[in-house]
Structure 1
């Protein structure tokens, strides 16, 4: 008897490599995958605007990087003594208007400089539901706990998602002739919208993404959504909120990302780095023992060898874990 549903996944050709520049944008699941890539020493920029859920907010952020936009005081608003940007996650919010602008524009400048050099743009779409300000019909990237009475909620159509992403991709491809785009749909279940409504939202995102992937040569789709929803298919792979995939699920998806999206050479390097990271997390019973000192020296030597073989990768944080 078979109790596990599996399905074929098409590998990326060419695969993602350590010497490439990556940018990840989208939902909180993009941050989970981005953290794994960063931990394994890939050159990543993760969510320059913070977490964004709907495709139109992601498109607007990308457009701002291509336009070289820097934010000003007029782009901020104050709510309950806190300064926010409608286009940014609350991680950028703060009591000081000047500090908020500085943090936003520092991240913005990094994204502006990177966008023309990217090898991979990885976009994780979270929801087709969007919130617009009643006062000007502007779609917001984050509601910042402003009362719901200030917003209208609507379900984006496949057509407007496709049109928005299509337009920004044409601009991106014109500026960056080498960039590849990898789409995923987040397996996070936005049950606050309603279970039926969440499924409808995901269906719209999937239809839009597959329309785009079938249209462009440099666009790819990775089935993170299907791996959690159809392959794992069990609430034991979710956190207590029954909404967010837990660590087991994230690790399962990461294993598939490694197998199907990463180049063979980088897969081997990932294994070496994973071993070193595990050693760095080791807590010795006696830190002063000769055995532990030899253990540290052995892994210090391993990291130094990798630093020679891969000078473009920053191994310094790992090296410091083994230097007494």
Structure 2
């Protein structure tokens, strides 16, 4: 008997190994996966200006990277004694104007470099709901708790999202023609948009994405079904965090396992196992650091670290 429907995941054509360079952009689920890659010492960069929830925000960041955009005073604003930028997450907020401008410019420079060198670009879209400034009809990436009457909330249309996917792909491949783009839709539920509103949002994101993929079979793009894994395979509140909206660690670990089976070869998995052994050993807190047993343990650990660093000098176990 079967007690769940197993969602099939295609095998990725472009595998990930320790020569790969990964860029992960989008919602908080993009952060979850990036943290996993980083734990296993893959070369990974994520969300240079913080979490971005909708396609237009990611598209604008890519435009900045392509054009080497330079932020200035016109791009930031002071609200409640904090400097913010509508194109960035609150993680970028600063107490001084010069500080946020410098941080934004440095982030875009580093992002452009990472994008040029990336073997894989993971894009995770969270919502199709956006906030548009009434004064200039500009869609923002983040409202920064500015009064809601400043914005018009609206749902991106199917065609707007489709056009954005096309532009996102064009921008990435203009900068890096060899990058493998991995699309996914976040399984995080945006209930602040309402139960029906959340479903409408995800439907637009998914529908437009699959039309784009169907029409661009020759483009280096891949769909990883994170949304479907949670909604159609796990589909139980025991796989959600206490807020009942975000997948919990058990769900994240399961999705990670499915992603590895799709993207990572058995040879790379063997190296990952060695990395995990070292990481867990370093997390160990000895009862008696001077005991003979612990000193032998440390000698063995140093040997394992040396083995990995000899082969992969970019790894860091500090």
1:218 counterpart = 2:220: yes
Structure 1 counterpart SS, 2:117 = coil
CA distance in 1, matches of 2:284, 2:72: 46
**Cα offset for 1:81?**
0.9
**Cα offset for 1:180?**
0.9
CA distance in 1, matches of 2:166, 2:187: 23
Question: Structure 1, residues 168-222: CA drift from partner, whole Å, max 9, x if none?
Answer: 3223323322111000100100011011110111111111221222214310000
**Cα offset for 1:167?**
2.3
| 2:22 counterpart residue number | 22
Structure 2 counterpart SS, 1:83 = strand
Q: Which moved more, 1:257-266 or 1:84-93?
A: 257-266
CA contact (8 A) 1:185 1:225 kept: yes
Residue correspondences, number: 316
**Cα offset for 1:280?**
1.2
**Cα offset for 1:236?**
1.1
Question: Structure 1, residues 86-144: CA drift from partner, whole Å, max 9, x if none?
Answer: 00000111211111112111111101222222211100000011111111111000010
CA distance in 2, matches of 1:265, 1:84: 45
Q: Which moved more, 1:98-107 or 1:130-139?
A: 98-107
1:232 counterpart = 2:234: yes
Which of 226, 243, 251 is 1:241 aligned to? 243
Matches within 5 A, 1:115-194: 115-194=115-194
| 2:256 counterpart residue number | 254
Gaps of at least 5 residues in structure 2 are none
**Cα offset for 1:165?**
2.2
| 2:5 counterpart residue number | 5
CA contact (8 A) 1:66 1:115 kept: no
CA contact (8 A) 1:76 1:84 kept: yes
CA contact (8 A) 2:27 2:125 kept: yes
CA RMSD of aligned residues (A): 1.3
CA distance in 2, matches of 1:221, 1:34: 17
CA distance in 2, matches of 1:90, 1:289: 47
CA contact (8 A) 2:49 2:91 kept: no
Q: Which moved more, 1:172-181 or 1:190-199?
A: 172-181
CA distance in 2, matches of 1:171, 1:112: 11
Stretches of 4+ aligned residues off by more than 4 angstroms: none
CA distance in 1, matches of 2:280, 2:230: 26
TM-score (norm 1): 0.94
CA contact (8 A) 2:88 2:142 kept: yes
| 2:199 counterpart residue number | 199
CA distance in 2, matches of 1:229, 1:187: 7
1:274 counterpart = 2:276: yes
CA contact (8 A) 1:212 1:219 kept: no
Structure 1 counterpart SS, 2:33 = helix
CA contact (8 A) 1:26 1:124 kept: yes
CA distance in 1, matches of 2:25, 2:14: 21
